[in-house]
Amino acid sequence: MYSLNFSKPFDKTTNITNLIVTKSKAAGGSGNVNSFAPNTIDGALLHNDAEFFLYGGVLAKRTDAYDPPSGDKVMTWRLHPYGPEKPSFQNGSSDMVTLETGVTRYVAHGGAASAPSENKAWYVGGMRSPLWGEMYMGNTNRSLNAVNTSDFLVTLDMSEQLFETFSNQSLPGTIQARANPEVVWVPVGAEGILVVLGGVTYPEYVNSSHKSDDAFQSQQQSPTFMETIDIYDVAGNKWYQQKTEGTKPPALARGCAVLAPAQDYSSFNIYYYGGYDGIHAQEDFSDDVWVLSIPSFQWTKVYEGKPLHARAGHQCVMPYPDQMMVIGGYTAMPGRGSPPCLEGGIIQVFNLSSAEWLDGYSPSKWSNYTIPSAVVSKIGGDEKGSATKTEPEGSGWADPSLAAIFAKPYETSKIKTWYPYTELKETPRPTVPADGSSGSGGGGGTPKWVAPVLGVVLGLVFITAILVGFCLWRRRRILRRGNGTATQTDDNGSRIISWIRGQPSEPAKAPTVTTEEAPSTQDMAEVRTPPPGPAASPVPYYFAHEVADNQIAELPDTSPRPELHGVGLTPVEIINKHTHFGTGSGSNPATTHQSSYYASVSNNENASSLSRSSGVLGYQTRAQSPDPGPPSPPISTAAPAGRIGSDVSGVSDRDARHLRNLSEATVSSASSGGEQGGPTVREQPLGVPDTVPETPTPGHPSPLSPPTGASDGEDYISARMLPVSPAGTATLRRSMFHESEDDLGSRR
């Protein structure tokens, strides 16, 4: 099927095929319909304003691939609902409708008319096959050709949607059946009348030889169809005939006809265009336009055409009251070869008021119908109506009943109009000026919705980015406060604070250990140390102050990184813990005051004391070492009585070697879990420990404090832990260690 939108304009330069929309006859718009709705020729489209039916026609091609459609079924398309409410109705649905008994779809070349205001349509006459079965175009089997006339009037009643009915009645003997008459519904009387004009009794196109079965008889009968018009009264279900007046057109078939009533309905003008006699397809077709005015039944030729523009087999519709649109058709058949193309194109538009052809069609250009002057001159009145000739003058009414029908006006309020149509214009492609500027067009063709949509999208993206950033920042902040991130103790700061807090409130001298002459020999002396007393009371807490720059712990440049076991020890602690001298003896009267063995320490047992040269604080440039003080006097091999001698004569070889390796350098423990180096110490007078740390808490390093400025000592000493020899197993021997100024080297 093909459809044309009246909202689209066109002219001679328009590609008309682009305007015509093709639609499949199958349900849903696609599929094979050859078995129930194949292509047909010279059928009819019976319709109202909401639905249409495909009825009749000759099958275009015979094939064994598909069975012919059933003779008692026709296809319908229901575009819109009407009447009682139909909840399950689907717009645009198609369906197969079963015909009533006595009605067949196998009829063709008849005349069709529809009256939407009455919800009725009709199919008059036509041709059929001798067997009342399927018919094919150009078939050599005569029983399959539409060679017999159909003497029936088929009526379609669409008053009740979904329950439409077809009915069939025979034509009276006075009404000659023929092929391709034009049937026009005219709104007069109670339900209108059908006016049938033209047609041919023995057409040539129903045979494969394209020759009329009885050309002579057809030439005698066919012209009368323009001289005497057949009329059917719908309400009275009665046929009438009425003679026409004026110069009459020749016998014509396969033309088209439309109705243009005067504005006051005083006259109804039927326009007939094109066609030919139906016998001589090689002769010129008609390009004339004729007007039959009723009720005067006056013929008037309003346009005389030319053969090259003529056509037959076309259809005519009226988009507006003053325009007739001619669609399709074909030209005269030459003796040999193919027929020429239609002059002017597939679609032509004729102005009914001015009686001239137009160059194109525009839905915005139209007006109410006005009667051509040639017609007004014969029926009287003016271009808008007011006809003075309201009945046939020459012969009068053939039947007074027909005059009564014309005298009764039709209820025109039932007739709906769908015009005017809104013109659809194609959007032109945007153009850019030669200078590249956007001009005043504002955007070079960019749609107006782009800017607001883009603004909304970008705004949402920006807001989303802010929210995501805030959430990430807040999450990171929470992780920092909690356990989300690993935190490390500032060991450097903690150890410095620990060292500062461990200083005594009053300057104290470094504890010294004195020895006295042993009663047994002059060369041997046993170092006696008192048992460790109670830990010193912790000093009150006070805020730390910046350490003076002159408090420097010196390490030799060549000393390796100290290796500690976690707790640094002073020489006195080494003696107490790792030698037999740590055991108190009653024979040794040497005593040292308890308070001289201990220095004040910090209450923070978890901090580690660090020297400036330790690996934890990082290697730094060594400052000038402070003055070591006066040198120790040399110790002779045999100490006279009354002198204070070294108390290390009873130290074992291993302990002596250990004491020689003691350094004045400060040894610091690394941070928790870090690598620790071995201790590097320098020699100093024996028995004079710099500091004695507080007894450490198991599992925690004891903070060690360097000497203050008022202390005689130069440094605090740390040493690694050594195994303790039992008190009774050490062998006493002469001390090989003597204090001498030569030991100080450059420090003297």
Q: What is the pLDDT of residue 351?
A: 98
What does DSSP assign to residue 60? S
Q: What is the Cβ-side half-sphere exposure of residue 155, based on CA atoms within 13 angstroms? A: 16
**How many helical (H) and strand (E) elements, i.e. helices and strands, does the chain have?**
8, 28
Where are the strands (E) in 18-90, listed by range? 20-22, 40-41, 44-47, 51-55, 58-59, 73-78
Residue-wise pLDDT tens digits, 254-285 = 999 999 999 999 999 999 999 999 999 999 99
d(CA 95, CA 526): 130
Q: Are 48 and 116 within 8 A, CB to CB?
A: yes
What does DSSP assign to residue 662? B
Q: What is the pLDDT of residue 473?
A: 86
d(CA 569, CA 532): 14
Is the link from the previous residue into 703 a cis peptide, with omega within 30 of 0? Answer: no
Q: What is the pLDDT of residue 449?
A: 74
d(CA 595, CA 354): 139
d(CA 132, CA 146): 9
Q: What is the pLDDT of residue 51?
A: 97
Residue-wise pLDDT tens digits, 390-442 = 999 888 999 999 999 999 999 999 999 999 999 987 655 555 455 544 444 44
Q: What is the pLDDT of residue 37?
A: 78
d(CA 496, CA 668): 12
Q: What is the pLDDT of residue 642?
A: 44
Q: Give the residue from 718, 645, 734, 653 showing the smallest Cα distance to 685.
A: 645
d(CA 106, CA 134): 6
Q: What is the pLDDT of residue 241?
A: 97
Q: What is the pLDDT of residue 652?
A: 53
Q: Are 371 and 286 within 8 A, CB to CB?
A: no
d(CA 117, CA 124): 19
Q: What is the pLDDT of residue 455?
A: 86
Q: Are 574 and 722 within 8 A, CB to CB?
A: yes
Strand arrangement, sheet containing 44-47: 44-47, 51-55, 73-78, 93-98
Task: Give the DSSP H/E element, type plus range, for residue 469.
Answer: helix 450-481
d(CA 402, CA 257): 22
d(CA 611, CA 320): 110
Q: What is the pLDDT of residue 670?
A: 38
d(CA 592, CA 514): 7
Q: Are 369 and 263 within 8 A, CB to CB?
A: yes
Which ranges of the chain have pLDDT less than 50? 432, 436-444, 484-489, 508, 510, 513-529, 534-543, 584-650, 658, 661-730
Q: What is the pLDDT of residue 174?
A: 95
How many angstroms separate the most distant Cα atoms in the chain? 185
Q: Give the residue from 730, 743, 680 showing the smallest Cα distance to 575.
A: 730
Q: What is the pLDDT of residue 580?
A: 55
Q: What is the pLDDT of residue 429?
A: 53
Task: Give the DSSP H/E element, type plus range, for residue 643.
Answer: none
